[in-house]
């Protein structure tokens, strides 16, 4: 097969546990904290750990206005499940509301929205009480940024913070626009109760091809199409270089399709008892019938993460060269350099 850059990488080896609430910021070095400005060297971001009293007892910017921010670099993508804030120790400086932003690369930021609200998180009412907020749902990120919206009118902006969570498992596959993964099902599979496909994608045009269902990312919106007439659009601005989750559940010809937290239900054309997906699913491009190395549409250039079909880790299977996985237009063997390229490219895409 001609060679191209479809690469697979495993970052960690376990999923976030139910008790994913370990403090992530308290053990970080001062260099992991940064800010828009600081009132003095003793008010710098390195003094912003929760319950600490060193320096001036917290971070305070040079000027208290809505253009200030406090940032944490967790060192790698982590599952973030909660945050906590305090004001500056023993002072009249605290924040009463703030926005929370997150990023993979530290440049392209996304706001965490509380239950679809554009308003900020509730902050503190004094300097030393701790206000916790559990994130529902949690998110994955390396960088977090706190943006004060309001503060004690008799004082300044003052913050001490903590972030809670745990390590995050990520199986990443990078497509270069000329690649595809073809997952071949058994020719005579046992009839499952339902088929479940789940994945995350970043800034891509993705097609998931089977007997009746295709997904395409067009102008920032994810469009599922079927043989039966159907008009359905989910999400917007999905090409924003952030990770977005997709869940497809097939039960007979009923399809539940979820993008991020938004679910739609529709009917797919096919046999009434079982939608068999044509015994194969392709990711990254739709192969032309009878032409193994050609594609019917422009293939996507981007990243997929944690790609599962009925509990099978498709990315890990590709990495192990299992026979049911065909990596189209990929040279035999995934070299160490290619593995590093996958992780680097998919994470730098957000910078």
Provide CB contacts within 8 A for 85, sequence distance 6+. 50, 95, 98, 123, 124, 130, 131, 146, 159, 160, 161
Please determine, looking at this structure, whether the domain spanning 22-167 carries the CATH number 3.40.50.150. Answer: no
Q: What is the distance of C-alpha 238 from the center of its chain?
A: 12
Average pLDDT, integer, range 177-199: 70
Closest to 9 in 3D by CA, of 319, 328, 322: 319
Average pLDDT, integer, range 255-265: 80
Residue 280's DSSP bridge partners are 184
Residue 261: is the preceding peptide bond cis (ω within 30°)?
Answer: no
pLDDT digits (tens, 9 = 90+) for 292-312: 545 555 666 778 888 888 888
What is the CATH topology of the domain spanning 7-11+171-348? Jelly Rolls (2.60.120)
Please indicate, yes or no, whether the overall pTM of this predicted structure exceeds 0.85: no
Domain extents in the chain: 7-11+171-348, 22-167
CB of 49 within 8 A of CB of 193? no
pLDDT digits (tens, 9 = 90+) for 149-174: 999 999 999 999 999 999 988 777 77
Say whether 22-167 and 7-11+171-348 share the same fold.
yes
Residue 137: is the preceding peptide bond cis (ω within 30°)?
Answer: yes
Helix (H, G, I), strand (E, B) or coil at 313: strand
pLDDT tops 90 at residue 89: yes
CB of 145 within 8 A of CB of 274? no
pLDDT digits (tens, 9 = 90+) for 311-343: 888 888 877 777 777 666 533 233 334 434 444
């Amino acid at each position: 097969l001609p060679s191209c850059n479809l690469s697979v990488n495993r970052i960690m080896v376990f999923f976030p546990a139910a008790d994913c609430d370990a403090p992530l910021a308290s053990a970080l070095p001062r260099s992991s904290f940064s800010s828009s400005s600081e009132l003095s060297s003793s008010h710098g971001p390195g003094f912003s750990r929760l319950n600490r009293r060193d320096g001036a007892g917290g971070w305070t910017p040079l000027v208290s206005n809505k253009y200030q921010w406090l940032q944490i670099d967790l060192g790698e993508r982590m599952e973030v499940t909660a945050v906590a804030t305090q004001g500056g120790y023993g002072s009249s400086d605290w924040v009463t509301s703030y926005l929370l932003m997150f990023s993979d690369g530290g440049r392209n930021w996304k706001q965490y929205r509380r239950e679809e609200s554009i308003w900020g998180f509730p902050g503190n009412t004094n300097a030393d009480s701790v206000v916790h907020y559990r994130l529902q749902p949690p998110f994955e990120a390396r960088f977090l940024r706190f943006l004060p919206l309001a503060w004690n009118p008799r004082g300044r902006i003052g913050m001490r913070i903590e972030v809670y969570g745990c390590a995050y498992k990520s199986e990443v596959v990078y497509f270069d626009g000329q690649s595809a993964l073809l997952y071949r099902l058994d020719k005579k599979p046992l009839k499952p109760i339902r088929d479940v496909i789940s994945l995350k994608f970043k800034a891509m045009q993705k097609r998931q091809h089977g007997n009746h269902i295709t997904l395409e990312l067009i102008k920032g919106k994810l469009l599922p199409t079927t043989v039966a007439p159907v008009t359905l659009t989910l999400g917007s601005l999905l090409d924003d270089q952030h990770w977005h989750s997709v869940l497809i559940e097939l039960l007979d010809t009923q399809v539940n399709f979820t993008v991020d937290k938004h679910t739609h239900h529709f009917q797919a054309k096919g046999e009434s008892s079982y939608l068999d997906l044509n015994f194969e699913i392709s990711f990254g491009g739709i192969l032309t019938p009878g032409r193994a190395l050609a594609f019917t549409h422009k293939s996507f250039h981007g990243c997929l993460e944690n790609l599962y079909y009925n509990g099978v880790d498709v990315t890990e299977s590709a990495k192990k060269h299992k026979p049911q996985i065909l990596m189209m237009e990929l040279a035999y063997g995934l070299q160490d350099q290619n593995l590093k390229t996958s992780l680097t490219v998919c994470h730098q895409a957000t910078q």
